[in-house]
Structure 1
Amino acid sequence: MKPIESIMRTAPVIPVLVIEDVAHALPVARALVAGGLRVLEVTLRTPAALDVIRAMKQVDGAIVGAGTVTNPDELKASIDAGAEFIVSPGLTDTLGRAAVDAGIPYLPGVASAGDIMRGLDLGLAHFKFFPAATSGGLPALKALAAPFYQCRFCPTGGITLASAPEWLGFDPVLCVGGSWVVGKGEPDEAAIEMAARGASALSR
């Protein structure tokens, strides 16, 4: 099994995290891991993101990656911060080659047949379908997955606890990305752990 596939199979939901304050990193990661969600995607959407990755890696059992990586410089900074996997919103040849050369598990965003073919050219077969809800939803992914039978997906974008089971019921979907698990602001560890338990109990 490829390393990115084993990461995708760790839990049915990968929490997509936008964390403004590095002081929130440890309580959020502790609560998510305690609730059964060990794979954490820290998006590079805030100035604190790289420090958040460093902090979350201190939590036993956490598998911490960087999301919203858009170029080789961000890729390098994420790896230097200790990211164990990389997620990008789209796929360019430049970023794709850099990720492959770095040898790090990589989940690039795709929304079309051309995107997937670009990934296959780079030797990639695991993709984030993004933005899932507004790119045609599950019917679009089913149509795309048919000719690309060898590919596996993590739909992300607009997915909720209510809609996740339908996505996870489609065989090529190994997990979904979800921002609903952790709200904004001061982390409530008990609430996050409860949300994580609900997400980790979803069946695939």
Structure 2
Amino acid sequence: MKLLDILRQDRMLPLFTPTSVEDGIQKLTSLQAAGIRAAELTHRSAGTLEIFREVRPHFPGLQLGAGTIFSAEDAHAFADAGAAFIVSPCLVPAVAQACLDLPLPYFPGAGAVREVWEAQQAGAAAVKLFPGEVLGPAFVRALRGPLPNALVLVSGGVQPTRQSVGEWLDAGAMAVGLGSKLFADPDGLEGTVADLLQFVHERGQNA
């Protein structure tokens, strides 16, 4: 399935920075066992690219993307390592162009109506609304007025609970990004994700 189709169905994108190959494999194994079909590894350390390159072959059926990408060089490097999509905290024109050339879906961050519109004009597959905890669900709801076709992935501040995820989806988010709060309990990771997936699948597709 295409990435956006997966996100429209599963409504969530887990994301984390792997500390080692073993850490990446362990977390992704739990996510995949819970039913996750797309995840993001964030590029926040010098070793992330090599970890990504070694982890990628273990999950051929997973749409695995690279996040926190600020340069075209990194976008190409992660694409060569098998990244299925690229994410940035803000719109980076050089990365947007690289993703168009590759081609790979690009999710740039945005925190204002103008930024969402500019991301759309740059060819973004969807926009990562960031930081979610500052903007709140009301922003997503208001955004649908001037930009009703904007595909929004909320990141930052989403709690790994049915209530929190439901609030964002009710506001009009296509999906939510779940980071450090989701991974705070490694032993409960698979169960929490499976429960949230059950919740969003029961809700049906609203995006």
Normalising to structure 1: TM-score of the pair? 0.87
**Out of 188, 196, 200, which is 2:197 matched to?**
200
Check the 8 A contact 2:96/2:123 in 1, yes or no: no
Q: Which gives a bigger RCO, structure 1 or 2 (Cα 8 Å, sep 6+)?
A: 1
Rate the CA distance shift 1:153–1:69 in 2: closer, same or farther, 3 A.
same
Does residue 42 of structure 2 align to residue 43 of structure 1?
A: yes
Check the 8 A contact 2:43/2:66 in 1, yes or no: yes
1:123 and 1:20 map into 2 onto residues whose CA distance is 32
Q: Is the partner of 2:184 in helix, strand or coil? A: coil
Listed one character per residue, the Cα deviations across residues 104-154 of structure 1 (whole Å, up to 9, x for unaligned) are 0111111112212212222335211011111x2111122222111111111
How many residue pairs match? The answer is 197
Shift of the alpha carbon at 1:15? 0.7
Deviates more, 1:118-127 or 1:20-29: 118-127
2:70 and 2:118 map into 1 onto residues whose CA distance is 16
What is the letter of the counterpart of residue 196 of structure 1?
V
2:15 and 2:125 map into 1 onto residues whose CA distance is 21
Rate the CA distance shift 1:198–1:52 in 2: closer, same or farther, 3 A.
farther
Matches within 5 A, 1:134-149: 134=134, 136-149=135-148
Equivalence for 1:11: 10
Where does structure 1 lack aligned partners over 5 or more consecutive residues?
A: none
Question: Which runs of 4 or more aligned residues in structure 1 lie more than 4 Å from their structure 2 counterparts after TM superposition?
Answer: none
Check the 8 A contact 1:44/1:68 in 2, yes or no: yes
Matches within 5 A, 1:112-151: 112-124=112-124, 126-134=126-134, 136-151=135-150
Deviates more, 1:5-14 or 1:80-89: 5-14
1:109 and 1:79 map into 2 onto residues whose CA distance is 19
Rate the CA distance shift 1:57–1:11 in 2: closer, same or farther, 3 A.
farther
Shift of the alpha carbon at 1:196? 1.7
More helix per residue: 2
1:90 and 1:15 map into 2 onto residues whose CA distance is 19
What is the letter of the counterpart of residue 188 of structure 2?
A
Equivalence for 2:22: 23
Q: Percent identity?
A: 28
Listed one character per residue, the Cα deviations across residues 70-119 of structure 1 (whole Å, up to 9, x for unaligned) are 11111111111110111111003222222222210111111112212212
Cα-Cα RMSD:
2.0
Equivalence for 1:90: 90
1:154 and 1:40 map into 2 onto residues whose CA distance is 13
Where does structure 2 lack aligned partners over 5 or more consecutive residues?
A: none
